[in-house]
Structure 1
Amino acid sequence: MWDKAPVTQTIARRLQEMIRSGELAAGQKLPSQRVLSERMSVSRPTLREALLTLETLGLVQTLPARGTFVMDPANTQPPATTWRYDDAYDLHDTFQSRLLIEGELCRLAAPVITPQAMVQLETACASFEDSWKAGDLVAHVEADLDFHRGIAAACPNRMLASLYQTVQQLLTETQRQPIPNTAGERMAQSIAEHHAILTALQKADGPAAEQAMRAHIRNTAICAGIDL
Protein backbone atom coordinates (compact mmCIF):
# COMPACT_ATOMS: atom_id res chain seq x y z
CA MET A 1 0.00 0.00 0.00
CA TRP A 2 1.57 3.30 1.11
CA ASP A 3 4.86 3.87 2.93
CA LYS A 4 5.07 3.84 6.70
CA ALA A 5 4.84 7.19 8.42
CA PRO A 6 8.15 9.03 7.94
CA VAL A 7 10.43 10.00 10.79
CA THR A 8 8.94 13.49 10.68
CA GLN A 9 5.51 12.19 11.71
CA THR A 10 7.05 10.07 14.47
CA ILE A 11 8.77 13.15 15.90
CA ALA A 12 5.57 15.20 15.52
CA ARG A 13 3.68 12.51 17.45
CA ARG A 14 6.30 12.45 20.22
CA LEU A 15 6.13 16.22 20.61
CA GLN A 16 2.33 16.11 20.57
CA GLU A 17 2.37 13.57 23.42
CA MET A 18 4.73 15.79 25.39
CA ILE A 19 2.23 18.63 24.95
CA ARG A 20 -0.79 16.49 25.84
CA SER A 21 0.91 15.07 28.94
CA GLY A 22 1.92 18.51 30.17
CA GLU A 23 5.63 17.83 29.85
CA LEU A 24 5.54 20.79 27.47
CA ALA A 25 3.10 23.21 29.09
CA ALA A 26 0.84 25.75 27.40
CA GLY A 27 2.77 28.95 26.78
CA GLN A 28 6.11 27.25 27.30
CA LYS A 29 8.94 28.12 24.93
CA LEU A 30 10.48 25.10 23.29
CA PRO A 31 14.26 24.62 23.44
CA SER A 32 16.21 25.76 20.41
CA GLN A 33 16.06 23.51 17.36
CA ARG A 34 19.70 22.57 17.92
CA VAL A 35 19.07 21.47 21.49
CA LEU A 36 15.75 19.78 20.73
CA SER A 37 17.10 17.89 17.70
CA GLU A 38 19.99 16.57 19.78
CA ARG A 39 17.65 15.59 22.59
CA MET A 40 15.39 13.69 20.19
CA SER A 41 18.27 12.25 18.14
CA VAL A 42 17.04 13.60 14.81
CA SER A 43 18.38 16.00 12.24
CA ARG A 44 17.40 19.66 12.44
CA PRO A 45 15.58 19.55 9.05
CA THR A 46 13.46 16.63 10.30
CA LEU A 47 12.68 18.45 13.55
CA ARG A 48 11.87 21.63 11.62
CA GLU A 49 9.39 19.76 9.43
CA ALA A 50 7.77 18.17 12.50
CA LEU A 51 7.39 21.59 14.12
CA LEU A 52 5.84 22.94 10.93
CA THR A 53 3.32 20.07 11.07
CA LEU A 54 2.45 20.91 14.68
CA GLU A 55 2.16 24.60 13.84
CA THR A 56 -0.20 23.82 10.96
CA LEU A 57 -2.30 21.76 13.40
CA GLY A 58 -2.41 24.68 15.85
CA LEU A 59 -0.38 22.96 18.58
CA VAL A 60 2.60 25.33 18.54
CA GLN A 61 3.31 28.80 17.24
CA THR A 62 6.61 30.20 16.01
CA LEU A 63 7.16 33.91 16.60
CA PRO A 64 9.92 35.71 14.68
CA ALA A 65 13.00 36.44 16.80
CA ARG A 66 11.29 34.90 19.86
CA GLY A 67 11.07 31.16 19.24
CA THR A 68 8.44 28.42 19.21
CA PHE A 69 5.78 28.27 21.93
CA VAL A 70 3.18 25.69 22.93
CA MET A 71 -0.35 26.88 22.18
CA ASP A 72 -2.97 26.89 24.93
CA PRO A 73 -5.60 24.21 24.09
CA ALA A 74 -8.13 26.09 26.23
CA ASN A 75 -7.93 29.07 23.91
CA THR A 76 -11.28 29.17 22.10
CA GLN A 77 -9.92 31.53 19.45
CA PRO A 78 -8.44 29.36 16.68
CA PRO A 79 -4.91 30.34 15.70
CA ALA A 80 -4.37 32.10 12.42
CA THR A 81 -3.27 29.56 9.84
CA THR A 82 -1.01 30.33 6.93
CA TRP A 83 -0.48 28.56 3.62
CA ARG A 84 3.10 27.30 3.64
CA TYR A 85 3.48 27.41 -0.15
CA ASP A 86 1.98 30.83 -0.73
CA ASP A 87 5.10 32.07 -2.55
CA ALA A 88 4.70 29.39 -5.22
CA TYR A 89 1.07 28.27 -5.41
CA ASP A 90 -2.23 29.89 -4.53
CA LEU A 91 -4.28 27.95 -1.97
CA HIS A 92 -7.43 28.21 -4.11
CA ASP A 93 -5.56 26.78 -7.10
CA THR A 94 -4.21 23.93 -4.98
CA PHE A 95 -7.66 22.98 -3.69
CA GLN A 96 -9.03 23.24 -7.23
CA SER A 97 -6.28 20.92 -8.50
CA ARG A 98 -7.01 18.50 -5.70
CA LEU A 99 -10.69 18.54 -6.65
CA LEU A 100 -9.89 17.55 -10.22
CA ILE A 101 -7.17 14.99 -9.50
CA GLU A 102 -8.68 13.19 -6.51
CA GLY A 103 -12.18 13.15 -7.95
CA GLU A 104 -10.90 11.35 -11.04
CA LEU A 105 -8.68 9.01 -9.01
CA CYS A 106 -11.75 8.00 -7.04
CA ARG A 107 -13.90 7.47 -10.12
CA LEU A 108 -11.32 5.27 -11.81
CA ALA A 109 -10.44 3.28 -8.67
CA ALA A 110 -14.03 2.34 -7.79
CA PRO A 111 -14.66 -0.40 -10.40
CA VAL A 112 -11.31 -2.14 -9.88
CA ILE A 113 -10.39 -1.65 -6.22
CA THR A 114 -9.29 -4.90 -4.56
CA PRO A 115 -10.68 -6.38 -1.33
CA GLN A 116 -7.26 -5.89 0.30
CA ALA A 117 -7.22 -2.20 -0.62
CA MET A 118 -10.77 -1.84 0.72
CA VAL A 119 -9.72 -3.32 4.08
CA GLN A 120 -6.86 -0.83 4.28
CA LEU A 121 -9.18 2.06 3.47
CA GLU A 122 -11.68 0.87 6.09
CA THR A 123 -8.87 0.77 8.65
CA ALA A 124 -7.77 4.29 7.74
CA CYS A 125 -11.37 5.52 7.88
CA ALA A 126 -11.86 4.05 11.37
CA SER A 127 -8.57 5.49 12.60
CA PHE A 128 -9.54 8.90 11.18
CA GLU A 129 -12.63 8.91 13.41
CA ASP A 130 -11.10 7.29 16.50
CA SER A 131 -8.03 9.54 16.61
CA TRP A 132 -10.17 12.67 16.35
CA LYS A 133 -12.29 11.52 19.28
CA ALA A 134 -9.08 10.81 21.23
CA GLY A 135 -7.70 14.26 20.43
CA ASP A 136 -4.69 12.78 18.64
CA LEU A 137 -4.34 15.27 15.79
CA VAL A 138 -1.13 13.82 14.37
CA ALA A 139 -2.63 10.31 14.11
CA HIS A 140 -5.81 11.88 12.74
CA VAL A 141 -3.90 13.54 9.91
CA GLU A 142 -1.89 10.37 9.24
CA ALA A 143 -5.13 8.39 8.88
CA ASP A 144 -6.53 11.03 6.55
CA LEU A 145 -3.40 10.92 4.41
CA ASP A 146 -3.48 7.11 4.37
CA PHE A 147 -7.10 7.15 3.21
CA HIS A 148 -6.48 9.50 0.31
CA ARG A 149 -3.15 7.94 -0.68
CA GLY A 150 -4.78 4.52 -0.61
CA ILE A 151 -7.36 5.61 -3.17
CA ALA A 152 -4.59 6.99 -5.39
CA ALA A 153 -2.69 3.70 -5.08
CA ALA A 154 -5.82 1.82 -6.19
CA CYS A 155 -6.25 3.90 -9.36
CA PRO A 156 -5.54 1.81 -12.49
CA ASN A 157 -4.32 4.87 -14.41
CA ARG A 158 -0.68 4.83 -13.33
CA MET A 159 0.11 8.14 -14.99
CA LEU A 160 -2.62 9.89 -13.00
CA ALA A 161 -1.49 8.13 -9.81
CA SER A 162 2.09 9.26 -10.50
CA LEU A 163 0.87 12.81 -11.05
CA TYR A 164 -0.76 12.66 -7.62
CA GLN A 165 2.50 11.49 -6.08
CA THR A 166 4.38 14.33 -7.76
CA VAL A 167 2.18 17.01 -6.16
CA GLN A 168 1.30 15.03 -3.04
CA GLN A 169 3.17 17.31 -0.64
CA LEU A 170 1.10 20.27 -1.79
CA LEU A 171 -2.21 18.43 -1.84
CA THR A 172 -1.78 16.82 1.58
CA GLU A 173 -0.94 20.17 3.15
CA THR A 174 -4.52 21.22 2.32
CA GLN A 175 -5.65 18.33 4.55
CA ARG A 176 -3.67 19.65 7.55
CA GLN A 177 -4.12 23.37 7.05
CA PRO A 178 -7.86 23.74 7.91
CA ILE A 179 -7.78 21.62 11.10
CA PRO A 180 -7.32 24.46 13.66
CA ASN A 181 -10.43 26.14 12.21
CA THR A 182 -12.51 22.96 12.05
CA ALA A 183 -15.41 22.86 14.51
CA GLY A 184 -16.67 19.61 15.99
CA GLU A 185 -19.77 19.70 13.81
CA ARG A 186 -17.68 20.05 10.66
CA MET A 187 -15.41 17.17 11.70
CA ALA A 188 -18.46 14.95 12.23
CA GLN A 189 -19.48 15.90 8.69
CA SER A 190 -15.98 15.14 7.39
CA ILE A 191 -16.07 11.70 9.00
CA ALA A 192 -19.45 11.07 7.36
CA GLU A 193 -17.98 12.19 4.03
CA HIS A 194 -15.19 9.65 4.36
CA HIS A 195 -17.79 6.95 4.98
CA ALA A 196 -19.74 8.12 1.90
CA ILE A 197 -16.62 7.79 -0.24
CA LEU A 198 -15.96 4.36 1.23
CA THR A 199 -19.53 3.21 0.57
CA ALA A 200 -19.35 4.30 -3.07
CA LEU A 201 -16.05 2.45 -3.49
CA GLN A 202 -17.52 -0.67 -1.87
CA LYS A 203 -20.35 -0.54 -4.40
CA ALA A 204 -17.87 -0.06 -7.26
CA ASP A 205 -19.84 3.06 -8.19
CA GLY A 206 -17.35 5.35 -9.92
CA PRO A 207 -19.59 8.40 -10.47
CA ALA A 208 -20.86 8.28 -6.87
CA ALA A 209 -17.31 7.93 -5.53
CA GLU A 210 -16.19 10.92 -7.59
CA GLN A 211 -19.14 12.99 -6.43
CA ALA A 212 -18.54 12.08 -2.78
CA MET A 213 -14.84 12.93 -3.01
CA ARG A 214 -15.48 16.26 -4.71
CA ALA A 215 -18.09 17.21 -2.11
CA HIS A 216 -15.62 16.33 0.64
CA ILE A 217 -12.86 18.47 -0.88
CA ARG A 218 -15.21 21.42 -1.42
CA ASN A 219 -16.32 21.31 2.22
CA THR A 220 -12.73 21.02 3.43
CA ALA A 221 -11.84 24.05 1.32
CA ILE A 222 -14.58 26.06 3.02
CA CYS A 223 -12.85 25.48 6.38
CA ALA A 224 -9.73 27.03 4.84
CA GLY A 225 -11.74 30.01 3.62
CA ILE A 226 -11.84 28.82 0.01
CA ASP A 227 -15.03 28.66 -2.06
CA LEU A 228 -14.78 26.23 -4.96
Structure 2
Amino acid sequence: MHAPAPRAVPEYALQAIRKLIDEEGYGPGDALPSQRDLAERLGVSRTSLREALSSLSALGLISVQAGKGVFVQSASGAPAHGFAWPFAAQVSAADTFQMRFAMEGFACGLAAATLTAPELDALQDNVEQMRLELRAGDFERASQLDFEFHQRILQAAGNQAMLGILATRVDIFLESQKLPFVRPERAMETWQEHRKILKALARHASGPAQKAMQQHIRAAASRTGIAFATLGD
Protein backbone atom coordinates (compact mmCIF):
# COMPACT_ATOMS: atom_id res chain seq x y z
CA MET A 1 0.00 0.00 0.00
CA HIS A 2 1.24 3.48 -0.83
CA ALA A 3 1.18 6.51 1.44
CA PRO A 4 -1.43 9.16 0.62
CA ALA A 5 -1.28 12.93 0.24
CA PRO A 6 -0.67 14.50 3.69
CA ARG A 7 -4.01 16.35 3.78
CA ALA A 8 -6.02 13.15 4.10
CA VAL A 9 -3.77 10.71 5.96
CA PRO A 10 -6.34 9.60 8.61
CA GLU A 11 -9.01 9.28 5.91
CA TYR A 12 -6.63 7.21 3.77
CA ALA A 13 -5.75 5.00 6.74
CA LEU A 14 -9.44 4.43 7.50
CA GLN A 15 -10.20 3.31 3.95
CA ALA A 16 -7.03 1.21 3.78
CA ILE A 17 -7.98 -0.69 6.94
CA ARG A 18 -11.48 -1.36 5.59
CA LYS A 19 -9.89 -2.66 2.38
CA LEU A 20 -7.51 -4.84 4.41
CA ILE A 21 -10.43 -6.38 6.31
CA ASP A 22 -12.35 -7.11 3.11
CA GLU A 23 -9.48 -8.36 0.96
CA GLU A 24 -7.75 -10.53 3.56
CA GLY A 25 -10.91 -12.15 4.82
CA TYR A 26 -10.97 -10.93 8.42
CA GLY A 27 -14.22 -11.85 10.14
CA PRO A 28 -15.97 -10.71 13.32
CA GLY A 29 -13.78 -11.52 16.33
CA ASP A 30 -10.53 -11.73 14.34
CA ALA A 31 -7.57 -9.70 15.57
CA LEU A 32 -5.94 -7.25 13.19
CA PRO A 33 -2.15 -6.73 13.14
CA SER A 34 -0.76 -4.64 15.99
CA GLN A 35 -1.05 -0.87 15.73
CA ARG A 36 2.70 -0.63 15.18
CA ASP A 37 2.52 -3.14 12.33
CA LEU A 38 -0.53 -1.45 10.83
CA ALA A 39 1.16 1.97 10.90
CA GLU A 40 4.27 0.57 9.20
CA ARG A 41 2.25 -1.37 6.66
CA LEU A 42 0.13 1.64 5.69
CA GLY A 43 3.00 4.11 5.87
CA VAL A 44 1.22 6.43 8.30
CA SER A 45 2.00 7.83 11.74
CA ARG A 46 0.64 6.25 14.90
CA THR A 47 -1.39 9.42 15.48
CA SER A 48 -3.10 9.18 12.10
CA LEU A 49 -3.68 5.48 12.63
CA ARG A 50 -5.30 6.08 16.02
CA GLU A 51 -7.64 8.65 14.48
CA ALA A 52 -8.66 6.18 11.78
CA LEU A 53 -9.19 3.43 14.35
CA SER A 54 -11.30 5.79 16.46
CA SER A 55 -13.55 6.47 13.46
CA LEU A 56 -13.89 2.77 12.66
CA SER A 57 -14.66 2.00 16.29
CA ALA A 58 -17.38 4.69 16.36
CA LEU A 59 -18.88 3.10 13.25
CA GLY A 60 -18.90 -0.30 14.95
CA LEU A 61 -16.54 -1.96 12.46
CA ILE A 62 -13.76 -2.67 14.96
CA SER A 63 -13.16 -2.82 18.70
CA VAL A 64 -9.96 -1.39 20.18
CA GLN A 65 -9.25 -3.23 23.42
CA ALA A 66 -6.51 -1.77 25.61
CA GLY A 67 -3.67 -4.20 26.16
CA LYS A 68 -5.23 -6.79 23.82
CA GLY A 69 -5.38 -5.33 20.33
CA VAL A 70 -7.77 -4.36 17.56
CA PHE A 71 -10.58 -6.77 16.74
CA VAL A 72 -13.03 -6.86 13.83
CA GLN A 73 -16.66 -6.47 14.83
CA SER A 74 -18.32 -6.27 11.41
CA ALA A 75 -16.70 -7.43 8.19
CA SER A 76 -19.54 -6.24 5.99
CA GLY A 77 -18.14 -2.76 5.40
CA ALA A 78 -21.38 -1.26 6.72
CA PRO A 79 -21.65 0.54 10.06
CA ALA A 80 -23.01 -1.54 12.91
CA HIS A 81 -25.01 -0.74 16.04
CA GLY A 82 -27.94 0.84 14.18
CA PHE A 83 -25.81 3.11 11.98
CA ALA A 84 -26.21 1.07 8.78
CA TRP A 85 -27.23 2.95 5.64
CA PRO A 86 -30.87 1.90 5.05
CA PHE A 87 -30.95 2.86 1.36
CA ALA A 88 -28.09 0.66 0.15
CA ALA A 89 -30.30 -1.13 -2.36
CA GLN A 90 -31.10 2.20 -4.04
CA VAL A 91 -28.02 4.38 -3.64
CA SER A 92 -24.86 4.25 -1.56
CA ALA A 93 -24.12 6.73 1.20
CA ALA A 94 -20.91 7.74 -0.60
CA ASP A 95 -22.82 8.53 -3.80
CA THR A 96 -25.34 10.54 -1.76
CA PHE A 97 -22.63 12.69 -0.17
CA GLN A 98 -20.95 13.13 -3.56
CA MET A 99 -24.22 14.31 -5.12
CA ARG A 100 -24.82 16.69 -2.21
CA PHE A 101 -21.26 18.03 -2.60
CA ALA A 102 -21.99 19.03 -6.19
CA MET A 103 -25.60 20.16 -5.85
CA GLU A 104 -25.56 21.90 -2.49
CA GLY A 105 -22.22 23.57 -3.07
CA PHE A 106 -23.57 25.16 -6.25
CA ALA A 107 -26.86 26.04 -4.53
CA CYS A 108 -25.03 27.75 -1.69
CA GLY A 109 -23.16 29.92 -4.18
CA LEU A 110 -26.48 30.89 -5.80
CA ALA A 111 -28.10 31.60 -2.44
CA ALA A 112 -25.28 33.93 -1.42
CA ALA A 113 -26.29 36.31 -4.19
CA THR A 114 -30.00 36.35 -3.40
CA LEU A 115 -30.47 35.81 0.36
CA THR A 116 -32.69 38.40 1.99
CA ALA A 117 -32.25 39.78 5.51
CA PRO A 118 -35.16 37.69 6.90
CA GLU A 119 -33.68 34.54 5.33
CA LEU A 120 -30.29 35.27 6.89
CA ASP A 121 -31.96 35.87 10.26
CA ALA A 122 -33.67 32.47 10.02
CA LEU A 123 -30.34 30.78 9.26
CA GLN A 124 -28.68 32.56 12.18
CA ASP A 125 -31.47 31.38 14.50
CA ASN A 126 -31.01 27.84 13.20
CA VAL A 127 -27.26 27.88 13.84
CA GLU A 128 -27.71 29.19 17.37
CA GLN A 129 -30.39 26.60 18.13
CA MET A 130 -28.12 23.83 16.88
CA ARG A 131 -25.40 24.99 19.28
CA LEU A 132 -27.83 24.74 22.18
CA GLU A 133 -29.10 21.29 21.16
CA LEU A 134 -25.58 19.93 20.74
CA ARG A 135 -24.57 21.23 24.15
CA ALA A 136 -27.64 19.49 25.57
CA GLY A 137 -26.68 16.24 23.78
CA ASP A 138 -29.87 16.11 21.68
CA PHE A 139 -28.33 14.79 18.47
CA GLU A 140 -31.68 13.81 16.95
CA ARG A 141 -32.91 17.40 17.16
CA ALA A 142 -29.50 18.66 15.99
CA SER A 143 -29.72 16.49 12.87
CA GLN A 144 -33.18 17.90 12.13
CA LEU A 145 -31.81 21.43 12.45
CA ASP A 146 -28.95 20.39 10.18
CA PHE A 147 -31.47 19.28 7.56
CA GLU A 148 -33.46 22.51 7.93
CA PHE A 149 -30.30 24.61 7.49
CA HIS A 150 -29.49 22.92 4.19
CA GLN A 151 -33.13 23.01 3.08
CA ARG A 152 -33.35 26.77 3.67
CA ILE A 153 -30.25 27.34 1.55
CA LEU A 154 -31.63 25.21 -1.29
CA GLN A 155 -34.88 27.14 -1.14
CA ALA A 156 -33.04 30.46 -1.21
CA ALA A 157 -31.09 29.35 -4.28
CA GLY A 158 -34.40 29.25 -6.15
CA ASN A 159 -33.54 26.31 -8.43
CA GLN A 160 -36.75 24.33 -8.76
CA ALA A 161 -35.01 21.25 -10.18
CA MET A 162 -32.84 21.00 -7.07
CA LEU A 163 -35.85 21.49 -4.81
CA GLY A 164 -37.64 18.75 -6.73
CA ILE A 165 -34.81 16.31 -6.05
CA LEU A 166 -34.93 17.18 -2.36
CA ALA A 167 -38.71 16.87 -2.19
CA THR A 168 -38.80 13.42 -3.77
CA ARG A 169 -36.09 11.91 -1.55
CA VAL A 170 -36.28 13.79 1.73
CA ASP A 171 -35.69 10.50 3.57
CA ILE A 172 -32.28 9.95 1.95
CA PHE A 173 -31.16 13.54 2.50
CA LEU A 174 -32.21 13.48 6.14
CA GLU A 175 -30.52 10.14 6.81
CA SER A 176 -27.25 11.41 5.34
CA GLN A 177 -27.41 14.32 7.77
CA LYS A 178 -27.92 12.01 10.73
CA LEU A 179 -24.88 9.85 9.97
CA PRO A 180 -22.11 12.26 11.07
CA PHE A 181 -23.62 12.41 14.55
CA VAL A 182 -22.52 8.81 15.20
CA ARG A 183 -19.42 10.50 16.61
CA PRO A 184 -20.73 12.67 19.47
CA GLU A 185 -17.23 13.86 20.37
CA ARG A 186 -17.04 15.58 16.98
CA ALA A 187 -20.64 16.77 16.72
CA MET A 188 -19.75 20.41 17.35
CA GLU A 189 -17.78 20.41 14.11
CA THR A 190 -21.08 20.50 12.23
CA TRP A 191 -22.07 23.69 14.05
CA GLN A 192 -18.66 25.26 13.41
CA GLU A 193 -18.90 24.47 9.71
CA HIS A 194 -22.42 25.90 9.53
CA ARG A 195 -21.13 29.11 11.12
CA LYS A 196 -18.46 29.35 8.42
CA ILE A 197 -21.08 28.88 5.70
CA LEU A 198 -23.31 31.48 7.33
CA LYS A 199 -20.49 34.05 7.46
CA ALA A 200 -19.88 33.66 3.73
CA LEU A 201 -23.61 33.94 3.02
CA ALA A 202 -23.87 37.09 5.16
CA ARG A 203 -21.13 38.67 3.02
CA HIS A 204 -23.00 37.60 -0.13
CA ALA A 205 -19.74 35.97 -1.22
CA SER A 206 -20.75 33.28 -3.70
CA GLY A 207 -17.34 31.66 -4.20
CA PRO A 208 -16.47 31.32 -0.49
CA ALA A 209 -20.03 30.18 0.29
CA GLN A 210 -19.83 27.40 -2.30
CA LYS A 211 -16.41 26.33 -1.03
CA ALA A 212 -17.52 26.38 2.62
CA MET A 213 -20.54 24.21 1.84
CA GLN A 214 -18.46 21.70 -0.11
CA GLN A 215 -15.86 21.52 2.66
CA HIS A 216 -18.67 20.93 5.17
CA ILE A 217 -20.26 18.08 3.21
CA ARG A 218 -16.92 16.43 2.64
CA ALA A 219 -16.04 16.74 6.33
CA ALA A 220 -19.44 15.34 7.34
CA ALA A 221 -18.86 12.34 5.10
CA SER A 222 -15.40 11.85 6.59
CA ARG A 223 -16.84 11.88 10.14
CA THR A 224 -19.10 9.06 9.01
CA GLY A 225 -16.16 7.09 7.66
CA ILE A 226 -16.91 7.86 4.01
CA ALA A 227 -14.47 9.24 1.46
CA PHE A 228 -15.33 10.18 -2.11
CA ALA A 229 -13.44 11.59 -5.06
CA THR A 230 -14.12 14.97 -6.66
CA LEU A 231 -12.61 16.80 -9.61
CA GLY A 232 -9.24 18.22 -8.66
CA ASP A 233 -8.38 15.45 -6.18
Q: Which amino acid aligns with 2:226?
A: I
SS state at 1:83 partner:
coil
> Which whole-Å CA distance do the structure 2 matches of 1:87 and 1:159 have between them?
24
Cα distance, 1:146 vs structure 2? 1.2
Q: Equivalent residues in 2 for 1:27-38 (5 A)?
A: none
Matched with 1:210 is 210
Matched with 2:141 is 139
Unaligned residue ranges in structure 1 (runs of 5+): 1-57, 59-77
Cα distance, 1:117 vs structure 2? 0.8
Q: Which amino acid aligns with 2:117?
A: P
Q: What is the CA deviation profile of residues 136-162 of structure 1, one whole-angstrom value per residue up to 9, with x for unaligned ones?
A: 222212211111111111112222222
> Which whole-Å CA distance do the structure 1 matches of 2:179 and 2:117 have between them?
32
Q: What is the CA deviation profile of residues 52-75 of structure 1, one whole-angstrom value per residue up to 9, with x for unaligned ones?
A: xxxxxx9xxxxxxxxxxxxxxxxx
Q: Number of aligned pairs?
A: 150
Cα distance, 1:80 vs structure 2? 5.4
Equivalent in 86, 89, 93 of residue 88 of structure 2: 86
> Which whole-Å CA distance do the structure 1 matches of 2:177 and 2:112 have between them?
22
> Which whole-Å CA distance do the structure 1 matches of 2:170 and 2:208 have between them?
23
Give the root-mean-square deviation of aligned CA atoms.
1.8
> Which whole-Å CA distance do the structure 2 matches of 1:179 and 1:138 have between them?
9
Matched with 1:193 is 193
Matched with 2:50 is none
> Which whole-Å CA distance do the structure 2 matches of 1:195 and 1:173 have between them?
22
SS state at 2:187 partner:
helix
Matched with 2:161 is 159
Matched with 1:150 is 152
Tell me if the contact between 1:105 and 1:161 (Cα under 8 Å) persists in the aligned partners.
Answer: no
Runs (4+) off by over 4 Å: none
> Which whole-Å CA distance do the structure 2 matches of 1:168 and 1:208 have between them?
27
SS state at 1:227 partner:
coil
Q: Which amino acid aligns with 1:134?
A: A
SS state at 1:204 partner:
coil
> Which whole-Å CA distance do the structure 2 matches of 1:190 and 1:137 have between them?
11
Cα distance, 1:132 vs structure 2? 0.6
Q: What is the CA deviation profile of residues 73-116 of structure 1, one whole-angstrom value per residue up to 9, with x for unaligned ones?
A: xxxxx935100101111111111111111111101111101111
Tell me if the contact between 2:140 and 2:178 (Cα under 8 Å) persists in the aligned partners.
Answer: no
Q: Which amino acid aligns with 2:223?
A: C
Choose 85-94 or 161-170, whichever is displaced more: 161-170
> Which whole-Å CA distance do the structure 2 matches of 1:201 and 1:91 have between them?
27
SS state at 2:114 partner:
coil
Percent pairwise identity: 29
Unaligned residue ranges in structure 2 (runs of 5+): 1-58, 60-79, 229-233
> Which whole-Å CA distance do the structure 2 matches of 1:183 and 1:135 have between them?
8
> Which whole-Å CA distance do the structure 2 matches of 1:157 and 1:177 have between them?
26
Q: TM-score normalized by structure 1?
A: 0.62
> Which whole-Å CA distance do the structure 2 matches of 1:106 and 1:168 have between them?
18
Matched with 1:39 is none
